[in-house]
Amino acid sequence: MSEDAAAMDRRVRRAAKLLFYKRHRQPGVRGWELRRTLGEGYPRVIELLNQRLEGLDLQVSVVHEEGTDRERGMPDLDRARFYVTLKGSLSTSDLVMAGWRVDDVAALTVTTALIISREGKVARRDVEAILREKFPRWRVDHNLNRFIRLGYLVQDEHDVLFLGWRSRAEIDEKLLLKLILGEPMKQEKLT
C-alpha cells in the first residue's frame, strides 16, 4: 500500500468514526467539521466511505438545511449535515426490534405523505383529524409529539408541521409516493 493510499485509508476510518459516534444532540456531522478534521478533499473521503459501507447496506446521506443555497442549485456542503443511514429498507420484524410499532410507522407514513402532498407544510389539526379516524386521541398526540422529539417532524409557533431533518435523511420521498400510488416496483433479488 502506497503512502497516499495509507493516508486516504486513515482519513476514511476517521470519517467513519466521526459519523458513527453521536457527539451532539443530533447524530451526524456538519460538513465544516468534516473539512476541519479530514481536509479540503473530504467529499472524496465520503465517497470512499460510501463504497465501503455499501456491503453493509448503509450509506452516507447528506441533508441540506432549508433556506440554504440548495434551492438555487448551489449546495453548501459545509453547512449540510452528513448521516449514516440504511441504503435499503427494514423488514417489519427489524422495525419491531428497533422499538417501532407497526401502527406508529403507519402514522408516520400518513403524516409524511400528507405533508409532501401539501407542498411541505400542513396544520397539525389536519394531521390529527386524519389520524384520529384510525387511532385513539392519546395515541395520535403521543405519536406526533414523539415524531417531533425524534426529528422526523418540526412544528412552528402556529402549529404547522414540516418534515424534519431526520425525515429528509431517512425517508425516500419519491419511493414513498410510488408506494402510495401503487406503482409497480422492481423486486430486488436477495443474495
CA distance 73 to 70: 5
Among the candidates 54, 88, 122, a domain finishes at: 88
- Structural domain harbouring 36: 3-88
The answer on 158 and 133 residing in a single domain is: yes
Residue 46 belongs to some domain of the structure: yes
Q: How far is CA 160 from CA 18, 72, 115, 152, 155, in A?
A: 34, 25, 10, 14, 5
The answer on 45 and 79 residing in a single domain is: yes
Among the candidates 36, 69, 88, a domain finishes at: 88
What is residue 62's three-state secondary structure? strand
Among the candidates 40, 63, 88, a domain finishes at: 88
Q: Does residue 143 carry a pLDDT above 90?
A: yes
The answer on 68 and 138 residing in a single domain is: no
pLDDT tens string 111-130:
999 999 888 899 999 999 99
The answer on 129 and 80 residing in a single domain is: no
Q: What is the pLDDT of residue 165?
A: 83
Instruction: Cite the beta strand spans of the chain per DSSP E.
Output: 29-30, 58-63, 81-86, 122-123, 153-155, 160-163
Percentage of the chain modeled with pLDDT above 90: 27
